[in-house]
Amino acid sequence: MGWAAPFAARNLFVLAFVSYETALAPCGGIAAVLARLPAHVAAQSRQPVVVFTPFHHRIPKTRDVDAQWVGAVGVPFDGRTVQVHVWRQDGPAPHYLLRPEDLQFFTGTRHPYDLHPDTLYRDSVFFGAAVIQALHVVAPGAPWTLLLQDWESATVAIAAAGQPARPRMFVTLHNSYDHEAGAGQLRHWRLAPHACPGETVLQRALSVCEWPVFTVSAQFARDLIDDPYQTRVLAPHLAPWLGSRLVGIDNGPFTDLAVPAELLTAAVAGRFQPLLAWKQEHQATFLKALGQLTPSAERPVWGNLSRFGRGQTPLFVMAGRDDCRQKGYDVAACAAERLLDAGGDARFVFFPIPGDEGLAGLSFLRELAERWPANVLAFPFRFAEGFSGALRGATCGIMPSLYEPFGMANEFYLNGTLGIGRATGGVLQQIVPDPRAKSTSTAVRRRSAGVHAAAANPTGFLFHEPEGLATEVADWQGINATGYLDPALELNRVQDRLRFPLFESMVAELTVALEDAITLAGEPAEYARWLLAGIRHLEQSFSWDRAAQQYLRYAGG
């Protein structure tokens, strides 16, 4: 492309995001970030900005991409040389897709990680080796700075470690997941483990990457080094490698503001009815979509569409991919049932995207909907025609996350709905709790004190189990062990986890938060004030341009 000479003359380099997952092959939060952040970095930067990602040939968005062939490289791997073609999709931050001729690589179907763990590890290491080769095709001779997203892309650092010269590299953690990386297997794949000491992919990558290590919110950076679930269960092996090295850079919002500006202007002036009427119209749109939905094997509906309540009772929504170690659908299901058992007047709608456990792993939601057909519906598929109406018409969105790097509270608020969330990670930053609420426990007060000003207007509800439970670490270990997957136990996820006092406490605290939300829903004008404050808080506190500037502060010089 003729880039090398101008770069050398102007002392510039190419900045590249490297990610196993993008909007062309989405699964979760990384795709949402990669759909936005690179373009904003490109707009803020003097350097060219690009993205490297695998060509996931079984995923339609990748398979059907409009891209141009750039060149090909030979990647030494596993005793042979694999030919890899480099394709470019143009845009504000061009995407370079690496497509091996050997179709055994990158075969995820539902999402990029839809592979046996050993296969995902092999493919990730291969991807890292391919990226190092592709740099010379995309910009021959140019200096590079690489932002490696999570362990699946941190393999680039392992591949570069044995090279006579390597690019400047930083790691960004969207979670703390990792993979063992034994020296023998790496040598077999023609890599140089002696040049990057460690026992896991991230340890080896961090041994050769630059300081700092980035993560996607300020609070998650703190959680990675002091939250017991992270430091004692999920990633105890990373604590010595992270320490003061972490820098949390808050993501920007994942969606645009859907609430019409004139409704917010009216609300500022104290006229709340237009905003509340707008929400009711969207709820009516959702209810109409229910009447037009025909369940099928591909689109199973849990609950009774005709019996589900059409009245004005509070409506709670939860959405997103089911990660049994993170998302908290089981916490929400238990709290919903307790609220309903106690006579609470509420409706619940769940939009779970089945995770690694498939539909069977969500059986507790099906059972809940069967027990409460007038109050609970679950759609374990992409119900596009009903989702936005439910999201915008709901009273609150629920985020009972066991941990949360950033979270989707911003998507609730910008769609005109308050948030209820466990006080962890980015959720803690996005929701300002009401100090008068019953759910604002001592644990919530302590955790939010360093995040939100005491005089900040409340925007939603945070909950958190009491800190320092005697069984805390053992309970986190039990939750993480997913013992219910043993068919001999004949337990679903909820039945298994109710054995742990920590889980029981989370359920109890979320139940209180739901009760608080029902009380607030009975005061429509106050609800509208909170919603207005929540939207303003999101707009003032989170920005992709600000995030881009912070990344460039460290990686752009």
Euclidean distance between CA atoms 421 and 419, whole angstroms: 6
Give burial (CB, 10 Å; 0-12/13-18/19+) of 399.
buried
Nearest to 70 by CA among 55, 48, 82, 59: 55
Same domain, 267 and 403: yes
- First-to-last C-alpha distance (Å) of the chain: 23
- Structure tokens of 282? 């969207």
Give burial (CB, 10 Å; 0-12/13-18/19+) of 194.
exposed
pLDDT of amino acid 244:
86
Euclidean distance between CA atoms 335 and 427, whole angstroms: 19
Sign of torsion over alpha carbons 193, 194, 199, 205: negative
The enclosing domain of 178 has a CATH number of: 3.40.50.2000
Tens of each residue's pLDDT in the chain, 557 residues: 444 445 444 456 899 999 999 999 999 889 999 999 999 999 999 889 999 999 999 999 999 999 999 999 999 999 999 999 999 999 999 999 999 999 999 999 999 999 999 999 999 999 999 999 999 999 998 999 999 999 999 999 999 998 888 999 999 999 999 999 999 999 999 999 999 999 999 999 999 999 999 999 999 999 999 999 999 999 999 988 998 899 999 999 999 999 999 999 999 999 999 999 999 999 999 999 999 999 999 999 999 999 999 999 999 999 999 999 999 999 999 999 999 999 999 999 999 999 989 999 999 999 999 999 999 999 999 999 999 999 999 999 999 999 999 999 999 999 999 999 999 999 999 999 999 999 999 999 999 998 999 999 999 999 999 999 999 999 999 999 999 988 888 889 999 999 999 999 999 999 999 999 999 999 999 999 999 999 999 999 999 999 999 999 999 86
User: Residue 7 — left, alpha, or beta (φ > 0 → left; ψ -120 to 50 → alpha)?
Assistant: alpha
pLDDT of amino acid 9:
42
Same domain, 245 and 265: no
Euclidean distance between CA atoms 13 and 431, whole angstroms: 39
324 Cβ contact partners less than 8 Å away, ≥ 6 residues apart: 330, 355, 356, 357, 361, 482, 493
Q: How many CB atoms lie within 10 A of CB 213?
A: 23
Same domain, 290 and 341: yes
Which pTM was predicted? 0.95
300 Cβ contact partners less than 8 Å away, ≥ 6 residues apart: 359, 380, 381
Same domain, 243 and 364: no
Same domain, 242 and 379: no
The 3-state DSSP class for residue 14 equals strand
pLDDT of amino acid 487:
85
Name the residue range of residue 333's domain. 261-541
Euclidean distance between CA atoms 413 and 535, whole angstroms: 6
Is residue 344 within 8 A of residue 514, CB to CB? The reply is: yes
User: Pseudo-torsion of CA 311, 315, 318, 319, nearest 10°?
Assistant: 50
Same domain, 56 and 126: yes
- Cα dist from 265 to 268, 281, 393, whole Å: 5, 19, 19
pLDDT of amino acid 4:
46
The one-letter amino acid at 298: E
Same domain, 209 and 273: no
- Bridge partners of 140, per DSSP, are none
pLDDT of amino acid 220:
98
Euclidean distance between CA atoms 330 and 495, whole angstroms: 9
- Structure tokens of 529? 């004030």
Q: Specify the DSSP element, H or E, that contains 173.
A: strand 168-173
Same domain, 343 and 375: yes
State the residue for tokens 């800190």.
Answer: 467
Nearest to 58 by CA among 148, 118, 119: 119
**What DSSP letter does each residue of 210-274 carry, written as one string?**
PS-EEES-HHHHHHHHH-HIIIIII-TTTHHHHGGGEEE-----SS---S-HHHHHHHHTT--HH
Strands 418-422 and 460-463: parallel
Same domain, 121 and 214: yes
Euclidean distance between CA atoms 203 and 205, whole angstroms: 5
- Dmax of the chain from CA atoms? 73
Same domain, 505 and 551: no
The 3-state DSSP class for residue 291 equals helix
Same domain, 535 and 551: no
- Structure tokens of 60? 């339609």
Q: How far is CA 135 from the centre of its chain?
A: 28
Same domain, 241 and 283: no
Nearest to 410 by CA among 389, 393, 390, 432: 432
Work out how many domains the chain is built from and give that number. 2
200 Cβ contact partners less than 8 Å away, ≥ 6 residues apart: 151, 178, 179, 180, 181, 237
Euclidean distance between CA atoms 422 and 435, whole angstroms: 15
